[in-house]
Amino acid sequence: MMPRKIMMKRAIALTSALTLGALAAHAENTISTDGLKASTSAVSIGTVTAEKDGYIVVHRTDFTGTLPGAIIGHAPIKAGQSAEVSVPLSVQPEAGSKLIVMLHAEGNGDTTFDAADKPVTEGRGPVQQIVTVQ
């Protein structure tokens, strides 16, 4: 039989490993702020990490500059890490305006961005970043 002290150490190590594994799995959906920039014609993202195939979607913001409004661009991404993603914009936002760059998951397997492709959420809200048009 194993001494109680060794059993406790193993239990703590296992709990720590499971917790770190859960945190790592939870952090799979991200949009990096490194390399994130917007012009009047496109948004560039340095790195996107996604658990599933999906889309980077660019929204105008509401009058507060914090809530998503109309979609003005999108680009497909594959599961895993994507580098140097560029999203062309269908309308030209004014310099100084804020845009929301949001991760959406492919919802119905048709590889076309549509209403079935909902925002990816982590914690309390969607995986997103706000960027100012230069």
* Residue spans per domain, the chain: 28-132
This prediction has a pTM of 0.80
- What number does CATH give the domain 28-132? 2.60.40
For 133, which DSSP code?
Answer: B
Residue 110 buriedness (CB in 10 A; 0-12 / 13-18 / 19+): exposed
C-beta separation of 57 from 102 below 8 A? yes
| 4-47 residue pLDDT tens | 555 555 545 545 444 444 444 444 899 999 999 999 999 999 99
Average pLDDT over residues 55-64: 96
Q: Nearest-CA neighbor of 34 among 81, 79, 71, 69?
A: 81
